[in-house]
Amino acid sequence: MPYTYEYPRPALTVDCVIFGLEESSKLKVLLIQRAHDPFMGQWALPGGFVDMEEGLEEAALRELEEETGVRDVFIEQLYTFGDTERDPRGRVVSVAYFALVNLEKHPVNADSDAKRVEWFQIDQLPRLAFDHEKILQVAIARLRAKVRYQPIGFELLPEQFTLSQLQKLYETILGVEELNKRNFRTRILKMGVLREMGKQEGVAHRPAMLYSFDKEKYEQLARDKYEDLIRRGVDFEI
Amino acid sequence: MPYTYEYPRPALTVDCVIFGLEESSKLKVLLIQRAHDPFMGQWALPGGFVDMEEGLEEAALRELEEETGVRDVFIEQLYTFGDTERDPRGRVVSVAYFALVNLEKHPVNADSDAKRVEWFQIDQLPRLAFDHEKILQVAIARLRAKVRYQPIGFELLPEQFTLSQLQKLYETILGVEELNKRNFRTRILKMGVLREMGKQEGVAHRPAMLYSFDKEKYEQLARDKYEDLIRRGVDFEI
Q: Measure A204 CA to nearest chain B CA, in Å.
A: 30
Tell me the residues of chain B between 33 and 52 that have a Cβ less than 8 Å away from chain A: 49-52
Give A65-77 pLDDT, tens digit per residue.
999 999 999 999 9
Query: What is the predicted pLDDT for the residue at A222?
Result: 58
Better-predicted residue by pLDDT, B154 or A39: A39
Q: Is the pTM of this model over 0.95?
A: no
Residue A15 has pLDDT above 90, yes or no: yes
Say whether A237 and B3 touch across the interface (CB within 8 A). no
- The helix or strand, by DSSP H or E, that contains position B56, with its residue range, turns out to be helix B56-68
Say whether B232 and A184 touch across the interface (CB within 8 A). no
Residue B103 has pLDDT above 80, yes or no: yes
| Rounded mean pLDDT, A143-163 | 81
Query: What is the predicted pLDDT for the residue at A158?
Result: 85
Better-predicted residue by pLDDT, A98 or A219: A98
- Averaged confidence pLDDT in chain B: 86
Query: What is the predicted pLDDT for the residue at B47?
Result: 96
Interatomic CA distance for residues A48 and B12, integer angstroms = 16
Nearest residue to B224 (alpha-carbon basis) of A221, A78, A226, A174: A78
Residue B229 with chain A: CB contacts under 8 Å:
138, 141-142, 145
Query: What is the predicted pLDDT for the residue at A154?
Result: 73
Give B39-67 pLDDT, tens digit per residue.
999 999 999 999 999 999 999 999 999 99
Q: Measure A4 CA to nearest chain B CA, in Å.
A: 6
Nearest CA in chain B to A150: B238
Query: What is the predicted pLDDT for the residue at B23?
Result: 73
User: SS in 3 state form for chain A?
Assistant: CCCCCCCCCCEEEEEEEEEEECCCCCCEEEEEECCCCCCCCCEECCEEECCCCCCHHHHHHHHHHHHHCCCCCCCEEEEEECCCCCCCCCCEEEEEEEEEEEHHHCCCCCCCCCCEEEEEECCCCCCECCCHHHHHHHHHHHHHHHCCCCCCCCCCCCCCECHHHHHHHHHHHHCCCCCCHHHHHHHHHHCCCEEEEEECCCCCCCCCEEEEECHHHHHHHHCCCHHHHHHHHHCCCC
Nearest to B141 among A141, A174, A233 (CB): A233
Residue B51 with chain A: CB contacts under 8 Å:
1-3
- The helix or strand, by DSSP H or E, that contains position B12, with its residue range, turns out to be strand B11-21
Query: What is the predicted pLDDT for the residue at A34?
Result: 93
Interatomic CA distance for residues B26 and B103, integer angstroms = 12
Query: What is the predicted pLDDT for the residue at A14?
Result: 98
**What percent of chain A stands above pLDDT 70?**
87
Q: What is the ipTM of this complex?
A: 0.86
Contact partners, residue B146, CB within 8 Å, separation at least 6? B152, B224
Query: What is the predicted pLDDT for the residue at B24?
Result: 67
Better-predicted residue by pLDDT, A220 or B183: B183
**What percent of chain B stands above pLDDT 90?**
53
Residue A32 has pLDDT above 90, yes or no: yes
| Rounded mean pLDDT, A82-98 | 96
Give A102-137 pLDDT, tens digit per residue.
988 898 986 667 789 999 999 999 999 999 999 999
Query: What is the predicted pLDDT for the residue at A129?
Result: 97
pLDDT tier, A221 (very low <50, low <70, confident <90, very high otherwise): low
Query: What is the predicted pLDDT for the residue at A156?
Result: 84
Query: What is the predicted pLDDT for the residue at A205?
Result: 86
Which of A7, A9, A146, A185 has the most B C-beta neighbours within 10 Å, making it the best mutation to test the interface with B? A9
pLDDT tier, A223 (very low <50, low <70, confident <90, very high otherwise): low
| Rounded mean pLDDT, B1-26 | 82
- The helix or strand, by DSSP H or E, that contains position B81, with its residue range, turns out to be strand B76-81
Identify which of A86-100, B178-192, B201-215 has the greatest average pLDDT.
A86-100
Residue B2 has pLDDT above 80, yes or no: no
Average the pLDDT over each of A52-66, A117-131, A138-152 and give the range with the smallest value. A138-152
pLDDT tier, B223 (very low <50, low <70, confident <90, very high otherwise): low
Which of A5, A80, A85, A177 has the most B C-beta neighbours within 10 Å, making it the best mutation to test the interface with B? A80
Sign of torsion, CA A60 A66 A67 A68?
positive
Give B61-92 pLDDT, tens digit per residue.
999 999 999 999 999 999 999 999 999 999 99
